[in-house]
Amino acid sequence: MFLPYLFFLCRVFSRKKETETKKPNLRIGEKLGGLAGNMMTAKTSDLGTTAPIVSLIIGVYPLETKTSEVNYFPKGTREGDHMLSVTFMKNEGMGLLKILGSVSCENDSLEYVGVGSYTKTFNRPVTSAKKVEITTETGQKATVMVEPIPEIEIIEINGDPTMPILDLNEDFTIKISNPPGSEGTIVKVGLLTDVAGARAWNYFADFKSTDKVINIPKESFSSLEINGKLGAGQVKKGLNYLVVTREKITEYGNTTPEQVSGDCPKVKIQVRAFGSKPVIVKGRQEEGVITELKFSGRAKNKYAYSIYKPNARTGIPFSRASNFGLASLTINGRTYKKETNSGTSSWSVGNTRYTQSWTTTTTYKFPQLPDSYWENVMDKFYKSWEQTMSEKFSINHIPVDKVTSSAVYNQFFTVSEQNTSTLITKSYLNTKRVNPESFNEVLAGLNDDSFRNLMTNTNVDGLVSLEINFDIGANKDGKVVLLPKIKF
């Protein structure tokens, strides 16, 4: 449902010690996350400002799992229930919205549970499409049709249908039900994780649904969807629950007129079926649970480097890619700097005390070069980048104008170009910035859907952002130079 957004808030706003979050019934991360969510929830009667996420759950997982989202289920919800939820995200920027109006399904109003979300539990299984109707007090309307997917059930784990033991040092097998209509659907596998005072399903594997027994390698535990440093993203040891989630997600921009109509500019539809089984989790992966790779150093005393690689669920290997697109290439630099150092020294001669003050001013000034010079620098750099990616990883780049001409690209941040005696800021072939540089840009910033839609529109596997930043200084001979730092 809306748990990923709530869980993000929990992680951002909760920085309590682990000992504090373990106090009975405290769940400080949930409280802070909910508080932050409500602070970021505005009211609106304009559906044009919204980007709803409509979710249908086929079979609620056991409430004794005590995930953070259980607190937002309607009263009386039981395991196995079918549930509908609508969460109103802002169409632009970060935030949630409460509708001044009504949200209903089959003439039954959905209950508002906070953080921009409305829910409803059905009194019988959902076997046919459901119509969600949204109406504001100003008369705006929208309709969303949601189709159910087949249920899912864990039949056995490692051949055990009751209470299996899951050893993180070993591969394991899982067999699930596969009713007609579920062939080829995507199934995700996860365990419970506690972090930052909140609890959620932590997925680590996905595959296409099949009647066969699926083998899950132990290396999957190195690629948890929710991860953190110092073991913060590790799965809960001892009694836990293994969950399998069959899902069908229609992203923003991919819905059809039969699915969505009315005054909402974009809608995301996600249908999920849950199946779970209690398990005993033991062991620890031989090398520990790896969440990220980060290192730095120097190469032949010529340049320094710092490299960060996220885990496999959030950082797909280059071997999976064939086409990239350039989303941003900028060059920034200070070409003038003045440093002033002051000090005093004192000494005595006989009974007389002398004090001398001094000030030293050092000025660094790099010559102002024409725009064409910097454009040539970026052009040579980008062509070298393209060649390297092609030779090393067999990844080609589509023409830059195919990215910049996409309608989605207008959401990116405009580069304020300048070429003065003190500063240089230029962008390559009308590319924009993808990283926010101010608080307002953070709040009105891009989200995963912006990048996903841009990749869909341009048919690429990845987007590239390149920054060349110069700082001014002097070399060992006292000559003024620009010192580069490249980020990609």
User: How is 452-484 classified by DSSP, letter by letter?
Assistant: HHHHHHHT-SEEEEEEEEEEEEE-TTS-EEEEE
Helix-helix angle 3-13:28-39, to 10 degrees: 110
CA 461/CA 316 separation, integer angstroms: 10
Task: Give yes or no: residues 9 and 61 share one domain.
Answer: yes
**425 close to 331: Cβ distance less than 8 angstroms:** yes
Task: Give yes or no: residues 55 and 192 share one domain.
Answer: yes
Task: Give yes or no: residues 68 and 123 share one domain.
Answer: yes
pLDDT at res. 183: 81
Domain boundary among 238, 264, 282: 282
| In a domain? residue 375 | yes
> Of 59, 57, 83, 70, whose CA–CA distance to 198 is shortest?
70
Quickly state the pLDDT bin for 150 (edges 50, 70, 90): very high
How far, in whole angstroms, is CA 437 from its chain's centroid?
A: 18
CA 414/CA 435 separation, integer angstroms: 11
| In a domain? residue 294 | no
Quickly state the pLDDT bin for 29 (edges 50, 70, 90): low
Task: Give yes or no: residues 10 and 143 share one domain.
Answer: yes
Residue 123 sits in which domain range? 3-282
The pair of structure tokens assigned to 340 is: 């002033």
Instruction: For the chain, report the end-to-end CA distance as a whole number of angstroms.
Output: 34
pLDDT over 50 at 402, yes or no = yes
Task: Give yes or no: residues 129 and 204 share one domain.
Answer: yes
Helix, strand, or coil (residue 157): strand
pLDDT (average), residues 212-216: 89
Residues 6+ apart with CB under 8 A from 308: 292, 293, 294
Q: Taking the model in full, what pTM does it have?
A: 0.67
Tally the residues of the chain.
488
Task: Give yes or no: residues 262 and 372 share one domain.
Answer: no
Task: Give yes or no: residues 190 and 322 share one domain.
Answer: no
| In a domain? residue 84 | yes
Domain count, the chain: 2
Amino acid at residue number 142: A
Helix, strand, or coil (residue 373): helix
pLDDT (average), residues 66-74: 88
pLDDT at res. 474: 92
**430 Rama sector, left if φ>0, alpha if ψ -120 to 50, beta otherwise:** left
Helix, strand, or coil (residue 355): strand
Quickly state the pLDDT bin for 346 (edges 50, 70, 90): very high
**Inter-residue long-range contacts of 164-168, CB under 8 Å, 24+ positions, other chains counted:** 164/277, 164/279, 164/280, 165/279, 165/280, 165/282, 166/191, 166/240, 166/242, 166/279, 166/280, 166/281, 166/282, 167/282, 167/283, 168/218, 168/221, 168/235, 168/281, 168/282, 168/283, 168/284, 168/285
Residue corresponding to tokens 């990749």: 455
Task: Give yes or no: residues 233 and 324 share one domain.
Answer: no
Residues 6+ apart with CB under 8 A from 332: 424, 425, 467, 468, 469, 470
Domain boundary among 263, 282, 301: 282
Quickly state the pLDDT bin for 17 (edges 50, 70, 90): very low
Task: Give yes or no: residues 235 and 326 share one domain.
Answer: no
Quickly state the pLDDT bin for 4 (edges 50, 70, 90): very low
CA 199/CA 30 separation, integer angstroms: 8
Q: Which residues of 235-244 are buried (b: 16+ CB within 10 A; e: fewer)?
A: beeeebbbbb
CA 358/CA 342 separation, integer angstroms: 6
